[in-house]
Amino acid sequence: MIKFGVIGTNWITKMFIEAAYKTGEYELTKIYSRTEARGEAFLNTLAVDDVDIVTTLSDLYTNIDVVYIASPNAFHFEQSKVAIESGVHVIVEKPTTSNPTEFSEIERVLAQHPEVRYFEAARHIHQPNFKLIQQTMGELTQLQGATLVYQKYSSRYDAYLAGEEPNVLTRTYSGGALYDLGVYPIYAAIALFGAPRAVQYLPTLLTNGADGKGTANLFYDDFNVTVLFGKSANSYLPSEIYGLKETLSISNIAELETVTYYDGDGQQDNIGQVIDDNPMIHEAQDFADVINDPVGNHVRYSQWFQLAKQVNQTLFDLRSSANIVFPADQKEY
């Protein structure tokens, strides 16, 4: 059994714990919270026993194999770095780090701890329907680009409108639409088409300088990819990938509920599988495979790592094109 600890006591951590247990590979042994009371309250929502509540990273990183980190984005770097230095594998929520400087520092520390594995929890690319999309891309003649969409009104936007500063909608915590929901379509674009040769981001800014929604353009040699995302409105547009006459249509690029192939005559074929109730099961299983057999799964691991690095760079390039600066960019490492 892989012994794991968690950082973050919000709903996403609960979902990951449930996914981890469904794989049958993991056992939760520690919960980190800034306060014991919140840690206890979170534990009471879970159906697990024998879990320690800890309030320091040094207590968390003793006697566990892997940590799942779901704190506000700005904390991912430091919490991951200390884990790696402690010899603990890291599953960190997207986005891994705030910028490429932090990612390079993670790479440097990983080189000193070659036994440690570092995973970005980009759940959608581990799902069977994403693999189907990758396979079906081969049937598209002369790729013409794509439109990828993930825009969902956030309950935290209500808080923002009420004058509050929710973490995810501030630059202080490396938040904003691009570094939150935008990560999913950007990940999909890079996993499917590779790193773009140039990018441009046109955001709608909040009064605090973070982006509430926006449009990103990814430029490739033979086509462009348009990406729409945001937290201040709902979109029901599907995502589409274009061949000359064929089209792949995906109901939602982060959730992947349905995947439809339209041939050159417009005949449609629903090629997607029914998705699991818990969308994190496949990533939890993939990461367990690597932890249990790092040599046998080295190629897969390296591909995910390189993808995470390219996504991190592209997010930063997009953000830079819109002059959005995070406090994390001004830190010295």
Contacts to ligand NAP by CB under 6 A? 8-10, 12, 33-34, 38, 70-73, 75, 93-94, 121, 123, 167-168, 180
Coil, strand or helix at 213: strand
Name the DSSP letter for residue 207. Answer: T
Whole-number minimum distance, CB 125 to ligand NAP, in Å?
11
| Nearest CB to ligand NAP, comparing residues 168 and 216 | 168
SS3 46: coil
Of the pair 34, 108, the CB lying nearest ligand NAP is at 34
Distance CA 226, CA 200 (A): 10
Using DSSP's 3-state secondary structure scheme, residue 201 falls into strand
Q: Between residues 8 and 203, which has the closer beta carbon with respect to ligand NAP?
A: 8
The whole-angstrom separation of Cα 209 and Cα 219 is 26
**Least distance in Å: CB of 244 to ligand NAP?**
34
Residue 124 beta carbon to ligand NAP: minimum distance, rounded to whole angstroms: 9
For ligand NAP, the closer of residues 257 and 269 by Cβ is: 257
Element (H, E) at 318: helix 298-321
CA–CA distance, 99 with 39 (Å, rounded to integer): 29
The residues with which 120 forms a beta bridge, in sequence order, are 92
Closer to ligand NAP by Cβ: residue 133 or 168: 168
CA distance linking residue 260 with residue 271, whole number of Å: 6
- Beta-strand ranges (E) seen in 1-98 are 2-7, 26-32, 52-54, 66-69, 89-93
The least CB distance from residue 131 to ligand NAP, in Å, is 18
Q: Rounded to whole angstroms, how far apart are CA atoms 181 and 148?
A: 12
Q: Please, what is the minimum distance in Å from the beta carbon of residue 285 to ligand NAP?
A: 15
**Residue 226, beta-bridge partner list:** 147, 217
Least CB distance to ligand NAP at residue 329 (A): 17
In this complex, which beta carbon is closest to ligand NAP, that of residue 224 or of residue 329? 329
- Which one, 75 or 261, has the nearer CB to ligand NAP? 75
Q: Least distance in Å: CB of 142 to ligand NAP?
A: 34
For ligand NAP, the closer of residues 22 and 38 by Cβ is: 38
* Least gap, CB of 12 to ligand NAP (angstroms): 4
- Give the end-to-end CA distance of the chain in Å, rounded to a whole number: 35
> How far is the CA of 73 from the CAs of 66, 193, 267, in angstroms?
19, 26, 43
- Residues 17 and 107: their CA atoms lie apart, in Å, by 27
